[in-house]
Amino acid sequence: MRMFANDSRQFKFSVLLEICKQAFAGDLDEAEVHARARELVSLSSPRVRCCVYKEREVLRQRVRLSLGQMANDSAPYNPRQIVQVIDAACDGCSIRKIRVTDNCRKCMAKACLEACRFGAISMGTDRSQIDYDKCKECGMCAKACPYNAIVVTERPCYAHCPVQAISWDENGIAVIDEKKCINCGQCELSCPFGACEDISWVVPVITALKMDIPSFAIIAPSIQGQFGSANLAQIRKGIEMLGFEKCYEVALGADAVAKYEAEELREHMEAGVPLTTSCCPGFVNMQKMHFPEIYEKNKSTTVSPMMALANKLKKEYPDHGIVFIGPCVAKKQEAMEYVSAVDYVLTFEELAAMVAAKDIDFSKIETGEAGHASNYGRGFAASGGVAAAVQQARKENAEDPVNAVFANGAFECKQQLQLIKAGKFPADILEGMCCVGGCVGGPAAIVNAQIAKGRMFKENLANKAETIGGSLDKNSFDGVMMHVVKKEETNHAED
C-alpha cells in the first residue's frame, strides 16, 4: 500500500508496518524480528544503494529504531536524543559547497574571477576552477556567473538545521551534536536518503494495548485531513478500534492554552516583556538551549496543549496510560525525557502503520461522535493559529487585539528570537513553530501541508460557531496543572 510521496518515507513506513504486524501477532523475539524484516530487502528488490548488504545494514538500523533502540549499536540509550543518524544510510554527500559545473562556457568576461575576493578562482583548460585551499565559500562567484555555472550546494541536513547541530566525521557521515540539537526534525524532513530518523515506541504501545492496560489516545489537531477522506470522528473511532479506551482531541487542551496564554500575555504587556509561545517543543528547546535568557524571561509558562489535556486526563483517571499521536518528533522528547502525564508519543506515520497492521480503514468507519473543540484550538495545527487563538481568547474577554508575529519555520523562529535578544522585537507576542506551515508540515505528517490544511478548513466550516469559552464550558480545565514545573527533579532517564 503506497501512502507516502517519496520512496524513502515509504520504506520507513514498510519497516514500521512489519514491526507493528509482528507486535500485534505475538511476543516479539528480537532475532526473529530482524530475520523477518530482512524479507523487505532481497536480491530481487530494486537497488537504491551500492549493494544488498548495505541496504540490509540500513534496514537493521531502521529496525533497531523501530524497536525503540538507538540506531547506533554502541551508543548508550539517551531519552533526550530522538532524532538520530542511521550512519549506514548517510550518503556522506559532497561537502564542497561551491562547485563549477559544465555550464561554464569559459567566457570572455570571466565575472567569477572578478567576483572572488580571495583569489580562489582561475581559468582552467575547459572551465573556471576553484582552489579549495583559498575558497571561503562566500558564494560571490556563483552570484556573478551569468550562466548559473557555479552552484552552491549544502548537505540538506546541514542546510536545514537551524542550530548548526550537524557536522560530519572524517568519512563524511553526518553527526548530530546532542548538546545543540533541538530535535525539531528538520534534518529528518530534508534528508533524501532517510538517514536522519526518529526513535519509535510502537512496540511498547502495542504491548500495552494487547495487555488491555486502560489507555487514552490524544491526537494533535493536525491529524485532520491526514487520512484521505476520513473525518475527525472516523479517525477518533478508528484509533479506539486499536484498543484505546477513548480518543480525545488535543485541540481541547489548545483551547485552554489559548485562555491561559492570553492571561499571561496581559501580565507580560504590563511589564513590557514580549511573550513567546510554548506549544512547539522544538521552539521551546531552541529557547532553552540557545537563548536561555529568553527562555527564563519571555517564554510562556503555560504547558503545551498536549500536556494540558494529559494533565487533565491523568488527574481524572490516574491509572490510565496516555499516548499522544502527532506529526512531531520533538514531542517525543517533551513527553518522555522526564516523567510526565504523557506515557508515550507516536507519530502519524506510526499510527498509520498500526492501523494498516490491523487492517483498519478510517474512511470506511461509520461516523462516530464529533469533537467539542473550537476551531481556534484546532487552528494550533497551522502557522498563525496559536496567535489567532490567543487573540480570540482576548476578544471573548472584551480585550483589544495585540500585535503578533508568526515565526513560520525554524529559521524564522531563530531570527525573531535574535530580535528579542537585541531588544528590537516589534510586537507583543511571538508565535514560534519550527516546521514551515506549522504542525501540518511536521516531519512525521503523511500528506502535503497545503492539502491537509484545505481538508481541515473544509471540515471545520461546520464547527465555526464554537468559541474557546464554549469549549472550556464543556471540558473544564479548572484545577488542572496548566503551568510548567521544573521537570529536572523528576528525571527517569538515569539508571
Partner 1 sequence: MLKIEVCIGSACYVKGSNQVVADLSQMIRDEGWEDKISLTGSFCMKACQNKTGLGIRINGELIPGITMQNAKEALKAAITERLA
| Cell numbers representing residue 370 in the block | 464529533
Beta bridge partners of 347: 326
Based on the shown chain and the rule CB under 8 A, indicate whether residue 213 belongs to the binding site for partner 1: yes
3-state secondary structure of 231: coil
Nearer Cβ to partner 1 (28/241): 28
Q: How many helices (H) and strands (E) does the chain have?
A: 20, 15
Based on the shown chain and the rule CB under 8 A, indicate whether residue 68 belongs to the binding site for partner 1: yes
| String marking each residue 23-42 x if it binds partner 1 according to CB under 8 A | ----xxx-------------
Angle (CA) 189 432 279, round 5°: 90
The continuous run of DSSP H or E covering 429 comes out as: strand 429-433
Based on the shown chain and the rule CB under 8 A, indicate whether residue 492 belongs to the binding site for partner 1: yes
Nearer Cβ to partner 1 (199/449): 199
Nearer Cβ to partner 1 (53/77): 77
Based on the shown chain and the rule CB under 8 A, indicate whether residue 147 belongs to the binding site for partner 1: no
Nearest distance, CB of residue 320 and partner 1, angstroms? 8
Based on the shown chain and the rule CB under 8 A, indicate whether residue 344 belongs to the binding site for partner 1: yes
Nearer Cβ to partner 1 (79/470): 79
Sole binder of partner 1 in the list 170, 212, 316, 488 (CB under 8 A): 212
Nearest distance, CB of residue 196 and partner 1, angstroms? 21
Site for partner 1 (CB under 8 A): how many residues?
27
From 440, 251, 464, 218, select the one nearest 346 (Cα to Cα): 218
Q: d(Cα 416, Cα 424) in Å, to the nearest integer?
A: 9
Based on the shown chain and the rule CB under 8 A, indicate whether residue 400 belongs to the binding site for partner 1: no
Which runs of consecutive H residues, i.e. helices, occur in 154-304?
Answer: 156-160, 186-190, 202-210, 232-241, 251-271, 281-290, 292-297
Residue with cell 484545577: 479
Q: Answer for the pair 306, 331: CB distance below 8 angstroms, yes or no.
A: yes
Angle (CA) 183 188 190, round 5°: 125
Nearer Cβ to partner 1 (332/378): 332
Q: d(Cα 210, Cα 465) in Å, to the nearest integer?
A: 40
Nearer Cβ to partner 1 (85/336): 336
Only segment of 42-50, 206-214, 220-228, 352-360 that touches partner 1 (CB under 8 A) = 206-214
Nearest distance, CB of residue 23 and partner 1, angstroms? 9
Sole binder of partner 1 in the list 66, 200, 215, 347 (CB under 8 A): 215
| Amino acid occupying residue 288 | K
Only segment of 120-128, 263-271, 443-451, 484-492 that touches partner 1 (CB under 8 A) = 484-492
Nearest distance, CB of residue 80 and partner 1, angstroms? 12
Q: Answer for the pair 254, 477: CB distance below 8 angstroms, yes or no.
A: no
Nearest distance, CB of residue 380 and partner 1, angstroms? 25
Sole binder of partner 1 in the list 101, 164, 415, 490 (CB under 8 A): 490
Based on the shown chain and the rule CB under 8 A, indicate whether residue 122 belongs to the binding site for partner 1: no
To the nearest 10°, the Cα dihedral for 116, 119, 123, 129?
-80
Torsion over CA: 405, 410, 412, 417 (sign): positive
Q: d(Cα 386, Cα 445) in Å, to the nearest integer?
A: 19
CB proximity list for 221: less than 8 A, separation 6 or greater: 249, 250, 251, 254, 305, 373, 377, 378, 379, 380, 381, 439
Sole binder of partner 1 in the list 185, 225, 321, 438 (CB under 8 A): 321
Only segment of 149-157, 198-206, 304-312, 388-396 that touches partner 1 (CB under 8 A) = 198-206
Only segment of 43-51, 210-218, 393-401, 451-459 that touches partner 1 (CB under 8 A) = 210-218
In degrees and rounded to multiples of 5, residue 167 shows phi and psi of -135, -170
Nearer Cβ to partner 1 (79/92): 79
From 392, 363, 396, select the one nearest 377 (Cα to Cα): 392
Based on the shown chain and the rule CB under 8 A, indicate whether residue 249 belongs to the binding site for partner 1: no
Based on the shown chain and the rule CB under 8 A, indicate whether residue 201 belongs to the binding site for partner 1: yes
Nearer Cβ to partner 1 (200/224): 200
Only segment of 4-12, 99-107, 177-185, 338-346 that touches partner 1 (CB under 8 A) = 338-346
| String marking each residue 76-115 x if it binds partner 1 according to CB under 8 A | -x-x------------------------------------
Q: How many CB atoms lie within 10 A of CB 459?
A: 17
Based on the shown chain and the rule CB under 8 A, indicate whether residue 273 belongs to the binding site for partner 1: no
From 302, 335, 438, select the one nearest 378 (Cα to Cα): 438
Query: What is the distance, to the nearest Å, from the Cα of residue 209 to the centroid of all Cα atoms in its chain?
Result: 25
Nearest distance, CB of residue 33 and partner 1, angstroms? 11
Based on the shown chain and the rule CB under 8 A, indicate whether residue 462 belongs to the binding site for partner 1: no
Positions that interact with partner 1 (CB under 8 A): 27-29, 68, 77, 79, 201, 203-204, 207-208, 211-213, 215, 320-321, 336, 339, 343-344, 490-495
